Structure 1
Amino acid sequence: MHETSNTANRILGGVDTHKDLHVAAVVDNHDRILGTSSFAATRQGYRQMLAWMRSLGQLQRVGIESTGSYGAGLLRFLQAAGIEVLEITAPDRQDRRRRGKNDDLDAQNAAHAALAGARTVTPRTRDGMVESLRVLKACRKTAVTARRVALQMIHNTIVCAPDILRDQLRHMTRMQLVRTLAAWRPDLTAYREVEAAYRISLKSLARRYIELHDEIADLDMMIKAIVEDLAPELVARNSIGHNGAAQLLLTAGDNPERLKSEASFAALCGASPVPASSGKTVRHRLNRGGDRAANSALHIIAIGRLRTDEKTKTYVARRIAEGHSKLEAIRSLKRYIAREVFGIIMRRQQDINRTRIAA
């Protein structure tokens, strides 16, 4: 009787996250709405939200939208409090068309999904070295983009520059050009003159390029150190560089045990076979879903091995001889690489977990 009472008192939460305000809803184990309320997206607001949910019953789990952005802080808070958290992956479009949309309804739909286990996944934790790796890689990506734009601007400016400047710079390599421009000492008081304005602009762009180049080099050193700490066996494998390894670690997350098998990791990387049979034709096609950055990392590894590894060359040649296209052969190769990578990551995670238990 006591056990039945506890079961009846169980509740589930759902949260629609925003930059400054989170909307929370609670349902009971019969999927009935018990309440909806709004809280500030601050630690004080998180504490008030958790206290409010617990005041309505025994909190079983919480479904949160956007745990990778607006909901990241709430995710960390609830996990630290020992609350099971599910990420709500996508809205129910049929229900949204029928009922409309507002923040209260979105929070209630998240709570319904947490109860049913539909449209939910176990979110990646964001409190370990993989999260540090993600932040550094995101910073590096924007720096690389800005460096590329600076170089394009240099070349575009030179195209339009006076002939006296173009003749000096026409046949230089990229780094010769950048260093030459950065060393110029234009007359800053003569910026109204065309040639002086071009010299000032080119020097500014070159200095920007060098600063970004140095910033990227520093970030690469940090990323390399984290990757070698997390998975030294991964970068020791053929054709797996530090950037590719970093991306695959990011896809797996700080808690790769949430992935039930290597097949789920392959699907997450977009490397799993997708049936494309029709009539008498039985075949599989490339998977265009999943994490495209992880798929790109697997593709680079596959191409590298196809150039350097004899076993890989033999395998692809055999697949092509069997009637498969080269793309299908590479897709199969990426699937095997995903299996290899997942095994390495999981073994490393088991070692980390054993070390934590021993400590």
Structure 2
Amino acid sequence: MTSMTVTAARANPPAPPGALFAGIDTHKNTHHVAIIDHVGRSVEDHEFLTTSRGYEQIVEFLSSHGAIERVGIEGTGSYGAGIARVLGLGGFTVVEVARQNRQARRLKGKSDPLDAHQAAVSVLAGTDAATPKSGDGEVESLRLLMRERHAAGKARSQTMNQIHSLLITAPEAVRSDYRALTSLKLVPILARTRPRSGIDPENIARQTLKRLAVRHVALADEIAVIDQQLDALVREVNPTLLTVGGVGVVTATTLLIAAGDNPERLTSKAAFAAMAGVAPIPASSGQRARHRLSRGGNRNANSALHRIVLLRMRHREPRTMAYFERRRAQGLTDRDIRRCLKRHIANEIFAVLTSPSPETPIGQQLRARRQQTGTPITVLAASLGVPYQRLRRLEIGTRADPQLEQLVTAALSRIAPPNTP
């Protein structure tokens, strides 16, 4: 491919020796690379294919100009993922740059060389640049599994909707057979049916319903297998995350994907909150000081934090309910309180993502003390008025429960261990 240097840049005098920066405009089949000097003047740019050989040529092209301070890449989560990994392994400092906004493009025009040059300028200026996800570890495997799970879940929902839609318009003989069944019982019964062959509407409806039910069962089995893999991977990557109240396997996976394989790129609690879309944005003007809700950030992470809040409310987690009562007394609505809670939970999740603490032995210690006193777990749970499964999760370390820890500790302290010979 021929060089596509910006014509206006060639009129500039030769760049003085100093730091160099690069920008890459990414596409499906080609990447355009531009190199600028420390004052933003163009040095050289070129277009490469998105193949293994093309990636090698990009590395050679950048290395031939000397030390490159930083390389800005557009779309490190899509078309730029491959070259970002290659450059990272090659020792280059890679940053992700935001795409040029539409207003700037209307004023300056748009082309691959211009976009690559603008990416390099953004790196030089340090504007709209962030450390990209490395995408080379177990979290990348989690991302692939979650994409598969999302597609399977969507297909399963569509299949269930098709079954209900077909039953609405099916012949009365078919509708009457399944009218009283709920979705939970409907699918397995339809999957076990043996419709007769025939081309009349009733037989065709029964045959179609069976095929849809079999498809639904297959998709449910596929999701179950994916969930097992997700659970194993999450426990390997960050088992502490599963001990946080309200965090299950899917929620933990979503949060880990949002942080990436290199969560250290999230430099502060505020940065994580902004990334998750739960940081309030200043919207003040004149003498009016106010904040508005963020509508940006990673919406999947935002949804995960929202689910955590809802689960803690549903199970009436003591800290959550105490916070609700205190903020209600201050005049806040439940909706505003949930938004505040999401921000606080974001701080809690950030601490676990960036510096997961080793598994606490408190559950094992409580289990050992209970066994020493000879008290069955079911008896202790009944005396405390809590489900025995909740106590079991605390003992095996799969769920943190500070309130239950205090209750169990107090109860065991009142029980004397049996006399030992």
**Same fold, TM-score > 0.5, yes or no:** yes
Distance in 2 between residues matched to 1:42 and 1:30, nearest whole Å: 32
Distance in 2 between residues matched to 1:87 and 1:133, nearest whole Å: 21
Which of 253, 256, 262 lines up with 1:249 in the alignment?
Answer: 256
Which of 51, 59, 75 lines up with 1:42 in the alignment?
Answer: 51
Please tell me the residue identity of whatever aligns with 1:31: G
Is the contact between residue 98 and residue 128 of structure 2 (CA under 8 Å) also seen in structure 1?
A: yes
Cross-structure match for 1:130: 139
Which stretch shows the higher mean deviation, 275-284 or 127-136?
275-284
Cross-structure match for 2:328: 320
Is the contact between residue 10 and residue 57 of structure 1 (CA under 8 Å) also seen in structure 2?
A: no
Distance in 2 between residues matched to 1:27 and 1:184, nearest whole Å: 69
Is the contact between residue 240 and residue 358 of structure 2 (CA under 8 Å) also seen in structure 1?
A: no
2:229 is equivalent to residue 222 of structure 1: yes
2:91 is equivalent to residue 61 of structure 1: no
For the residue of structure 2 that corresponds to 1:348, the secondary structure is: coil
Is the contact between residue 158 and residue 166 of structure 1 (CA under 8 Å) also seen in structure 2?
A: yes
Cross-structure match for 2:367: none
Distance in 1 between residues matched to 2:263 and 2:283, nearest whole Å: 29
Which of 15, 18, 22 lines up with 2:24 in the alignment?
Answer: 15
Please tell me the residue identity of whatever aligns with 2:273: A
2:279 is equivalent to residue 272 of structure 1: yes
Cross-structure match for 1:291: 298
Please tell me the residue identity of whatever aligns with 1:314: A
2:153 is equivalent to residue 168 of structure 1: no
- Change over 3 Å in CA distance of 1:67–1:56 after alignment to 2: same
How far off its partner does 1:163 sit?
Answer: 0.9
Distance in 1 between residues matched to 2:185 and 2:336, nearest whole Å: 43
Distance in 2 between residues matched to 1:207 and 1:236, nearest whole Å: 36
How far off its partner does 1:92 sit?
Answer: 4.3
Distance in 1 between residues matched to 2:340 and 2:217, nearest whole Å: 41
2:208 is equivalent to residue 201 of structure 1: yes
Please tell me the residue identity of whatever aligns with 1:348: P
Which of 84, 97, 101 lines up with 2:110 in the alignment?
Answer: 101
Please tell me the residue identity of whatever aligns with 1:82: G
How far off its partner does 1:280 sit?
Answer: 7.0
2:347 is equivalent to residue 339 of structure 1: yes
How far off its partner does 1:278 sit?
Answer: 6.5
How many residues in Structure 1 have an aligned counterpart in Structure 2?
343
Which stretch shows the higher mean deviation, 194-203 or 118-127?
194-203
Cross-structure match for 2:168: 159
Is the contact between residue 269 and residue 295 of structure 1 (CA under 8 Å) also seen in structure 2?
A: yes
For the residue of structure 1 that corresponds to 2:273, the secondary structure is: helix
Compute the TM-score of the two structures, normalised by the length of structure 2. 0.77
| Bigger Rg over Cα | 2
Distance in 2 between residues matched to 1:265 and 1:205, nearest whole Å: 42
Distance in 2 between residues matched to 1:349 and 1:118, nearest whole Å: 34
Is the contact between residue 285 and residue 328 of structure 1 (CA under 8 Å) also seen in structure 2?
A: no
Is the contact between residue 256 and residue 349 of structure 1 (CA under 8 Å) also seen in structure 2?
A: no
Higher helix share: 1
For the residue of structure 2 that corresponds to 1:186, the secondary structure is: coil
Distance in 2 between residues matched to 1:25 and 1:281, nearest whole Å: 44
2:268 is equivalent to residue 261 of structure 1: yes
How far off its partner does 1:283 sit?
Answer: 4.7
Root-mean-square deviation (CA), in Å?
2.0
Cross-structure match for 1:77: 86
Which stretch shows the higher mean deviation, 310-319 or 72-81?
310-319
Which stretch shows the higher mean deviation, 111-120 or 132-141?
111-120
Please tell me the residue identity of whatever aligns with 2:349: V
Unaligned runs of 5+ in 2: 1-15, 360-421
Distance in 2 between residues matched to 1:31 and 1:252, nearest whole Å: 32
Cα deviation, 1:127-157, whole Å, max 9, x if unaligned, reads 0111111111111011100000000001111
Cross-structure match for 2:395: none
2:247 is equivalent to residue 232 of structure 1: no
Identity over aligned residues, as a percent?
Answer: 43
Which stretch shows the higher mean deviation, 201-210 or 142-151?
201-210
Unaligned runs of 5+ in 1: 1-6, 352-359
Please tell me the residue identity of whatever aligns with 2:146: K
Cross-structure match for 2:192: 183
Compute the TM-score of the two structures, normalised by the length of structure 1. 0.90
Cross-structure match for 1:354: none
Cα deviation, 1:83-109, whole Å, max 9, x if unaligned, reads 101111121444322221111211111
- Change over 3 Å in CA distance of 1:279–1:38 after alignment to 2: closer
Is the contact between residue 59 and residue 90 of structure 2 (CA under 8 Å) also seen in structure 1?
A: no
Distance in 2 between residues matched to 1:283 and 1:102, nearest whole Å: 40
Is the contact between residue 96 and residue 130 of structure 2 (CA under 8 Å) also seen in structure 1?
A: yes
Which of 90, 97, 104 lines up with 2:99 in the alignment?
Answer: 90
Is the contact between residue 32 and residue 45 of structure 2 (CA under 8 Å) also seen in structure 1?
A: yes
Which of 310, 317, 322 lines up with 2:318 in the alignment?
Answer: 310
How far off its partner does 1:58 sit?
Answer: 2.1
Please tell me the residue identity of whatever aligns with 2:39: H
